[in-house]
């Protein structure tokens, strides 16, 4: 299991984690009925803010925190447009996407391409006795561990708690939730902000663990892929683990293929995640999974006196 | 009987003391409400006492639901006085009204479809009832359901339940939430006759316990059967304010509702041509999860007759309509229009003279977010007729719409209004206006007057009779036996996907049809 396969398996968690965090964050949004297409921009802000904190000598915890704060800032703007002002959610999301990617480029300009100290493993020596691929697989940094724990927490809250029930009711039928005494707007804003924190973590993971440097535009579509993964995982965070691992595996194989000296055009190899996205969406479309699990009030603003 | 079940619910529900019976529970005075420039309430009054069933009567669009939405905190009043138990009570949100003991069962239920029955109950009353666990919620809910005589599975998704079961969930919801003032918005409109009687009985029982029950309806029969007092609204105003129900005749109530003119339906014509316009020979449809399969169904519809199809909802009515119009392919059997095998595509059947009016007006009938003019123009834009247009202007659509709006007396909207803003009766008239355009020879209607007030219902029924008199064969699928008896030339009964032989209307009666409906054939 060493060699190519071992290297591949060992590398998957780090590549899967940002997808998993972002998908989980978006599922929290969408289960409350808010479609946030700004994920790419919000993740960019998380990634750049974390790097700026590191380069300013603030340390890793502060970097993660700052990544979240920047992401929440963007998310607040989104919540204002989409939930409070009730603008078209697709449009609001696109605005945040463009603004976040643009702004991260501007403020990250003077911090770009400067390597930072990576977020290291939590238990550096704990897996010494194991086969190399297994040690490699299990030995991760705190953000990656968190990424794989969070879906279970979110699932539990969503399916087993009163809070989750209220959140789901808002996403499925906002007028009914309102009639039942749930504050629809507060619930949606809360969901959007919590989702924003998680998107910030996804961004911070990309720059602190993945690349260990800020490069303009480095999120490179992962936010969009996460939007697709929400559908693929049928709005279920546990299924999101499988979806993220699949995409992590595709992504993890790229550097290995590139360094293996295989004679395949480099662009073809780099295109793989996007091709996989198309394949996965087509698969979920064919299974008619979308119709059965999509929250019924997704992307539908709520105003009490408005006829629907 | 007592409705409180657990100790906890007992405390929360605060059963009304018999001493307060007869005292004023709700007083609303000179309430006004406008939506944009449409005035929904123009000085409406209502006064309800503890322990009574108070009927709130009025045509579609009179403002009944708006007034009650204000009482229950869903809408804010622009002006007016609102008191509950003598204290000012303008609720800013439904939660506040519910905390004050007001529970509303809406015309369109407020249930979260993908959640289970129990989850819906927990969502709405978990906090108020103080349920700490799923088990506590389950036992309290089951106890209440049993007490009311409801048989409802608690762990089934609400969207899998029938309409009458969903209504029971709504009732459980408000009672478990401790409602003392109960608003039922047209509870009988969605129910079959036998179920409606049970619902009215329940309203009576709840009032006898000391609650105040407001029963919105436009069925005069509901009033005489159940209500103590009645308030009648017309065009946003109260015209009869809490008169004893016993003292008023049906004719007086009808006159108050519509303002002078009363609605008359002409009787159907028993003689019709021998020419068959539509024939179903041994038609069957596949069994699927939520559908009732049609079983070897035979039917002959003649030129100029109204053939009534009676039966309780959920016995294959929608499936029959969808099969005839071409949305559902039969697994076997033949559909024959004018002596020839019917074309496969719905558009081609329409072309061949078939028109339909579905039960769910906004599902198969109208495009809610399109304007009246656009809705009316749709058929003219499709199909293979020479007048098919490829280029349309707003002016052209508006121009042709205005005639229809006038002829069919569609109120509550102009050519540019979105169709979803229309009340039920006007939406139905809009569908008729569109379907009756041009030449047609076969008309399939399903529950054509469900939820309509007397006048709108009469207008619709008169259109059906006029179509039949012109030679159109009308197949009327209806769950309302009175309607079937009043309009049909012949009648057949649909039960479990099987259709009985059609009988001439004068050779049968209510009792026989009722037996066929309940026991099958
Ligand atoms: N939320 C709303 N938005 C716009 N118009 C409304 C709304 N609710 C009611 N209306 C309008 O107010 C009038 C009264 O409606 P409603 O109270 O539903 O009447 P009823 O219940 O007596 O049939 C109608 O003209 C209706 O179109
Ligand atoms: Mg109404």
Q: Does the beta carbon of B461 sit less than 6 angstroms from any atom of ligand 1?
A: no
Residue A34 has pLDDT above 50, yes or no: yes
* Look-up of token digits 């608690």: B154
Domain ranges (residues) in chain B: 1-101+181-258, 105-178, 275-353+441-521, 362-438
Question: Chains A and B: how many Cβ contacts under 8 Å?
Answer: 62
B183: which residues sit within 8 A by CB, 6+ positions away? B68, B71, B72, B102, B103, B104, B105, B214, B216
Stretch A271-275: mean pLDDT, rounded?
85
Please, what is the angle between helix A3-31 and helix A222-232, to 10°? 80
- Which two three-digit tokens encode residue B61? 């669009």
Question: Nearest CA to B117 among B166, B60, B183?
Answer: B166
> Which residue of A lies nearest to B118 if distances are taken between CA atoms?
A165
CA distance B225 to B241: 19
Using DSSP's 3-state secondary structure scheme, residue B31 falls into strand
The secondary structure of residue B191, as a DSSP letter, is S
Share of chain B above pLDDT 70, in %: 92
φ/ψ of residue B200, rounded to 5: -65, -40
* First and final C-alpha spacing in chain B: 39
The protein residue whose alpha carbon is closest to atom 12 in ligand 1 is: B40
Q: Give me the pLDDT at residue A287, please.
A: 65
Residue to test with chain A: of B36, B106, B112, most A Cβ within 10 A: B112
CA distance A206 to A213: 9
Cβ of B126 within 8 Å of Cβ of A172? The answer is no
Residue to test with chain A: of B33, B91, B108, B114, most A Cβ within 10 A: B114
Residue B384 has pLDDT above 70, yes or no: no
Cβ of B74 within 8 Å of Cβ of A179? The answer is yes
Reported as a pLDDT band with limits 50, 70 and 90, residue B388 is low
CA distance B444 to B428: 14
Helices (H), chain A: 3-31, 39-55, 60-79, 89-108, 132-138, 142-160, 162-172, 174-179, 184-205, 222-232, 237-259, 266-270, 272-286, 289-293
Cβ of A181 within 8 Å of Cβ of B421? The answer is no
Mutation choice for ligand 1 from B41, B61, B219, B420, CB with most ligand atoms inside 8 A:
B61
φ/ψ of residue B276, rounded to 5: -95, 125
Q: How far, in whole angstroms, is CA B448 from its chain's centroid?
A: 10
B40: which residues sit within 8 A by CB, 6+ positions away? B33, B34, B63, B66, B236
Reported as a pLDDT band with limits 50, 70 and 90, residue B289 is low
- Which two three-digit tokens encode residue B357? 């009016």
* First and final C-alpha spacing in chain A: 58
| A306 contact B CB<8A | no
Distance from the B80 Cα atom to the nearest Cα atom in chain A, whole angstroms? 18
Chain A hits for B110, CB-CB cut-off 8 Å, are 173, 175-176, 178-180
| A165 contact B CB<8A | yes
Distance from the B70 Cα atom to the nearest Cα atom in chain A, whole angstroms? 10
CA distance B206 to A119: 65
Stretch B399-421: mean pLDDT, rounded?
89
> Which residue of B lies nearest to A293 if distances are taken between CA atoms?
B114
Task: Just give the CATH number of B275-353+441-521.
Answer: 3.40.50.300
Cβ of A173 within 8 Å of Cβ of B111? The answer is yes
Cβ of A168 within 8 Å of Cβ of B112? The answer is yes
Stretch B136-148: mean pLDDT, rounded?
95
Stretch B277-290: mean pLDDT, rounded?
87
Q: In what order do the strands lie in the sheet with B102-105?
A: B102-105, B181-185, B212-217, B53-58, B229-234, B237-244
Identical fold, B1-101+181-258 and B275-353+441-521: yes
Reported as a pLDDT band with limits 50, 70 and 90, residue B266 is low
B283: which strand partners? B297
B357: which residues sit within 8 A by CB, 6+ positions away? B365, B428, B431, B432, B435, B443, B444, B445, B446, B448
CA distance B515 to A94: 61
CATH number of the domain that A271 lies in?
Answer: 1.10.3470.10
Cβ of B110 within 8 Å of Cβ of A304? The answer is no
User: Has residue A69 been placed in a domain?
Assistant: yes
User: Has residue A303 been placed in a domain?
Assistant: no
Question: Nearest CA to B426 among B463, B461, B457, B467?
Answer: B457
Distance from the B235 Cα atom to the nearest Cα atom in chain A, whole angstroms? 19
Q: Does the beta carbon of B69 sit less than 6 angstroms from any atom of ligand 1?
A: no
Distance from the A288 Cα atom to the nearest Cα atom in chain B, whole angstroms? 16
Reported as a pLDDT band with limits 50, 70 and 90, residue B268 is low
Helices (H), B454-504: 454-469, 481-487
- Looking at per-residue confidence, does A61 or B190 come out higher? A61
Nearest to B74 among A166, A169, A304 (CB): A304
Cβ of A178 within 8 Å of Cβ of B94? The answer is yes
pLDDT, tens digit, for every residue of B170-226? 999 999 999 999 999 999 887 877 788 999 999 999 999 999 999 998 778 888 889
Question: Nearest CA to B423 among B461, B474, B372?
Answer: B372
Nearest to B123 among A166, A296, A307 (CB): A166
Listed range (A77-81, A174-178, B78-82, B478-482) with the worst mean pLDDT: B478-482
Domain membership of residue A100 as a residue range = 11-115+131-293
Does the pTM of the predicted model rise above 0.90? no
CA distances from A19 to A25, A27, A31 (A): 10, 12, 18
Reported as a pLDDT band with limits 50, 70 and 90, residue B130 is confident
Stretch A11-17: mean pLDDT, rounded?
95
User: Has residue A151 been placed in a domain?
Assistant: yes
Average pLDDT, chain A: 92
Q: Does the beta carbon of B65 sit less than 6 angstroms from any atom of ligand 1?
A: yes
CA distances from B416 to A138, A307, B139, B402, B423 (A): 64, 17, 52, 10, 16
pLDDT, tens digit, for every residue of B328-367? 999 999 999 999 999 999 989 998 999 999 998 888 899 9
Q: Give me the pLDDT at residue B456, please.
A: 85
The protein residue whose alpha carbon is closest to atom 9 in ligand 1 is: B66
Q: Give me the pLDDT at residue A119, please.
A: 84
Q: Does the beta carbon of B412 sit less than 6 angstroms from any atom of ligand 1?
A: yes
Angle at B94 (CA atoms; ends B90, B98), nearest 5 degrees: 90
| Number of domains observed in the structure of chain A | 1
- Which two three-digit tokens encode residue A289? 């999974």
CA of B374 to the centre of ligand 1 (A): 22
Q: Give me the pLDDT at residue B448, please.
A: 92
pLDDT, tens digit, for every residue of B43-69? 999 999 999 999 999 887 889 999 999
Q: Give me the pLDDT at residue B203, please.
A: 96
Q: Give me the pLDDT at residue B7, please.
A: 41
Q: Tell me what ipTM this predicted complex has.
A: 0.90
Residue A304 has pLDDT above 70, yes or no: yes
Q: Does the beta carbon of B62 sit less than 6 angstroms from any atom of ligand 1?
A: yes
Tell me the DSSP string of B99-158.
HTTEEEE-SS----TTSBHHHHHHHHHHHHHT--SHHHHHHHHHHHHHHHT----TTSBG
pLDDT, tens digit, for every residue of B361-378? 888 899 999 999 999 988
CATH of B1-101+181-258 given 3.10.20.30, 3.40.190.10, 3.40.50.360, 3.40.50.300: 3.40.50.300
Residue to test with chain B: of A30, A165, A168, A181, most B Cβ within 10 A: A181
| A180 contact B CB<8A | yes
């Amino acid at each position: 299991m060493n060699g190519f396969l071992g290297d591949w398996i060992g590398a998957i968690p780090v590549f899967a984690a940002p997808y998993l965090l972002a998908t989980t964050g978006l599922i929290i949004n969408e289960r409350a009925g808010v479609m946030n297409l700004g994920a790419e921009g919000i993740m960019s802000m998380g990634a750049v803010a974390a790097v700026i904190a590191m380069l300013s000598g603030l340390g890793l915890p502060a970097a993660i925190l700052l990544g979240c704060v920047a992401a929440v800032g963007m998310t607040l703007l989104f919540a204002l447009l989409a939930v409070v002002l009730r603008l078209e959610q697709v449009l609001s999301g696109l605005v945040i996407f463009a603004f976040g990617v643009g702004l991260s480029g501007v403020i990250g300009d003077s911090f770009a391409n400067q390597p930072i100290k990576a977020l290291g493993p939590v238990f550096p020596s704990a897996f010494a006795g194991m086969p190399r691929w297994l040690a490699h697989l299990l030995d991760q940094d705190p953000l990656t561990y968190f990424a794989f724990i969070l879906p279970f927490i979110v699932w539990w809250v969503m399916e087993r708690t009163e809070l989750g029930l209220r959140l789901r009711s808002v996403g499925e039928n906002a007028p009914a939730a309102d009639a039942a005494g749930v504050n629809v707007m507060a619930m949606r804003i809360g969901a959007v902000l919590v989702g924003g924190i998680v998107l910030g973590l996804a961004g911070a993971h990309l720059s602190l663990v993945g690349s260990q440097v800020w490069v303009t535009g480095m999120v490179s579509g992962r936010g969009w892929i996460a939007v697709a993964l929400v559908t693929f995982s049928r709005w279920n965070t546990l299924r999101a683990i499988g979806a993220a691992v699949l995409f992590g595996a595709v992504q993890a194989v790229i550097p290995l293929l590139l360094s293996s000296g295989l004679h395949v055009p480099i662009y073809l190899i780099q295109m793989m995640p996007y091709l996989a996205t198309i394949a996965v969406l087509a698969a979920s479309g064919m299974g008619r999974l979308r119709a059965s699990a999509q929250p019924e009030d997704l992307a539908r603003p709520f105003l009490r006196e408005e006829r629907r | 009987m007592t409705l409180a079940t657990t100790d906890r619910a007992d405390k929360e529900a605060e059963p009304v003391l018999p001493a307060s019976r007869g005292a004023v529970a709700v007083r609303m005075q000179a309430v006004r409400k406008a939506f944009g420039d449409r005035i929904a309430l123009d000085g409406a009054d209502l006064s309800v006492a503890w322990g009574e069933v108070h009927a709130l009567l009025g045509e579609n669009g009179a403002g009944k639901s708006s007034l009650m939405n204000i009482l229950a905190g869903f809408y804010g009043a622009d002006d007016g006085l609102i008191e509950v138990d003598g204290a000012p009570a303008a609720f800013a949100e439904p939660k506040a009204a519910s905390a004050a003991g007001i529970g509303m069962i809406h015309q369109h239920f407020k249930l979260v479809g993908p959640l289970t029955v129990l989850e819906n109950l927990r969502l709405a009353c978990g906090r108020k009832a103080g349920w700490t666990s799923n088990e506590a919620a389950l036992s309290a809910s089951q106890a209440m359901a049993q007490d009311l005589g409801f048989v409802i599975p608690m762990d089934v998704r609400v969207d899998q339940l029938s309409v009458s079961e969903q209504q029971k969930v709504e009732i459980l919801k408000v009672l478990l939430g401790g409602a003392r003032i109960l608003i039922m918005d047209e509870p009988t409109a969605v129910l079959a006759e036998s179920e409606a009687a049970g619902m009215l009985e329940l309203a009576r029982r709840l009032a006898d316990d000391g609650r105040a029950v407001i029963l919105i309806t436009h069925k005069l029969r509901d009033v005489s059967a159940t209500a103590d007092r009645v308030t009648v609204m017309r065009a946003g105003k109260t015209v009869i304010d809490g008169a004893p129900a016993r003292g008023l005749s049906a004719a007086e109530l009808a006159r108050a509702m519509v303002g002078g003119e009363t609605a008359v339906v002409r009787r159907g014509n028993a003689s019709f041509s021998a020419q068959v316009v539509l024939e179903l020979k041994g038609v069957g449809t596949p069994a699927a999860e939520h559908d009732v399969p049609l079983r070897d169904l035979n039917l002959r519809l003649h030129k100029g007759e109204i053939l009534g199809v009676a039966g309780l909802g959920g016995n294959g009515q929608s499936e029959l309509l969808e099969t005839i119009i071409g949305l559902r392919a039969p697994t076997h059997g033949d559909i024959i229009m004018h002596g020839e095998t019917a074309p496969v595509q719905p558009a081609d059947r329409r072309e061949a003279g078939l028109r339909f009016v579905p039960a769910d007006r906004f599902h198969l009938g109208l495009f809610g977010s399109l304007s009246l003019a656009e809705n009316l123009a749709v058929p003219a834009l499709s199909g293979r007729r020479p007048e098919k247009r490829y280029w349309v202007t707003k002016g052209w659509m508006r121009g042709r719409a205005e005639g229809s709006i006038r002829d069919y007396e569609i109120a509550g909207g102009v050519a540019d209004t979105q169709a979803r803003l229309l009340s039920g009766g006007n939406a139905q008239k809009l569908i008729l206006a569109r379907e009756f355009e041009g030449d047609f020879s076969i008309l399939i209607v399903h529950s054509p007057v469900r939820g309509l007030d007397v006048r709108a219902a009469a207008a619709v029924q008169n259109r059906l009779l006029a179509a039949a008199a012109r030679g159109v064969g009308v197949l009327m699928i209806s769950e309302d036996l009175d309607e079937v008896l009043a309009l049909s030339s012949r009648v057949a009964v649909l039960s479990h996907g099987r259709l009985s032989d059609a009988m001439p209307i004068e050779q049968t009666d209510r009792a026989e049809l009722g037996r066929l409906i309940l026991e099958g054939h």
